[in-house]
Amino acid sequence: MTPSKYVQPELGRHSLSVLLVLLLVSAALFSDYCLGSATRTTPGPVSFTNLNLYSFFLVGLIYGWTAAGSWLLSCIERRYLRWGLQLGLTVVLARILQAMREDEWMRFFSSLGGLVFSQTIIFHLIGMPRWKISRLADRDSPNLKDEPTRQFGIGDILACTTCIAFLLAIMIRYQPSGVGSTSYWLPLIAFLTIAPLSAASMMKAVLGSRRRIEQIAWVLLSIGTTILCAAGLTLAQFLLTDLLKNQSNSPDPWQLAVTIGLAYETLLITFVGLFAALASAGLIGNKHKSSRPA
């Protein structure tokens, strides 16, 4: 076994307490939004007139809980149980996202499901650590864990093939309203690739090297990636849609670009920030276990 370069996050009493607080705060924010009169907007074509940064913050939470929750479920060793729970999490959060705006559930399920799928592949390829359930009998594990080599088995290959086929079927069948299929799916695919990489960079800062300079470098890389992703989504919206033609009272293109970029940046920072919070919670659990007397 090759020693992992990262601290393996622990799921114990202390980390669960932090996670429960995060979950309760998120639930309170969603309850306040659903009971209030905020304008309901979600990612997709953004206009200057219907922009609501708070709604993009909440959408970032949904994407964050989908992806970070899927990573948290990696502590379950039985793969079929883990896959089932990840699927259930995606279904529930896609329904919550649908409640924020009246649109087809398939749109949100394909976005969140694609995020879980791409993140799982990317995290596996770059060797991000899985969560581990803390056990009282396990007192001698060092901070840097020795994880078994993770290889794809037949079940994993069949699951990947099924997911790809299912997502392709959705892409063929679902026709997004207001924009063409290319204008919708290309930016989404780019987001599903870049967002996990940005989250992984932030996790490397939290769970990786204790050298301050390396931590700062990974944080800066994560921030730079989110800025690049937001700029790319904004540019794609200008190039692939008739955004300016549909704006009756639009400001100049530069001001509109800054406004839309800020909306996407709000979503991405919330997404990455939730990953950083979960990784920090796992680090707290790991440190607490390693500090217990033998």
pLDDT in tens, 4-16: 678 889 888 888 9
Local confidence band at 148 (pLDDT 50, 70, 90 cut-offs): very low
| pLDDT above 50 for 277 | yes
If one counts every other C-beta atom within 10 angstroms of the C-beta of residue 47, the result is 17
Instruction: Say which range, 7-11, 141-145, 150-154, 244-248, has the weakest mean pLDDT.
Output: 141-145
Please report the pLDDT score of residue 12 as a whole number.
87
| pLDDT above 70 for 217 | yes
Contact 179, 253 (CB under 8 A): no
Please report the pLDDT score of residue 289 as a whole number.
62
- Of the candidates 266, 293, 126, 148, the one whose C-alpha atom is nearest the C-alpha of residue 196 is 126
Please report the pLDDT score of residue 61 as a whole number.
93
Please report the pLDDT score of residue 168 as a whole number.
66
Q: If DSSP codes are grouped into helix, strand and coil, which group holds residue 192? A: helix
Contact 249, 51 (CB under 8 A): no
Mean pLDDT of the chain: 78
Between 287 and 292, name the one with better pLDDT.
287
| pLDDT above 90 for 249 | no
Contact 205, 215 (CB under 8 A): yes
pLDDT in tens, 71-121: 999 999 888 898 899 999 999 999 888 887 766 777 788 889 889 989 998
Chain CA centroid to CA 152, Å: 23
Chain CA centroid to CA 77, Å: 21
Please report the pLDDT score of residue 145 as a whole number.
45
Say how many CA atoms lie within 13 Å of 263 toward its Cβ. Answer: 24
pLDDT in tens, 28-37: 888 887 776 5
Local confidence band at 144 (pLDDT 50, 70, 90 cut-offs): very low
Local confidence band at 268 (pLDDT 50, 70, 90 cut-offs): very high
Please report the pLDDT score of residue 292 as a whole number.
53
| pLDDT above 60 for 44 | no
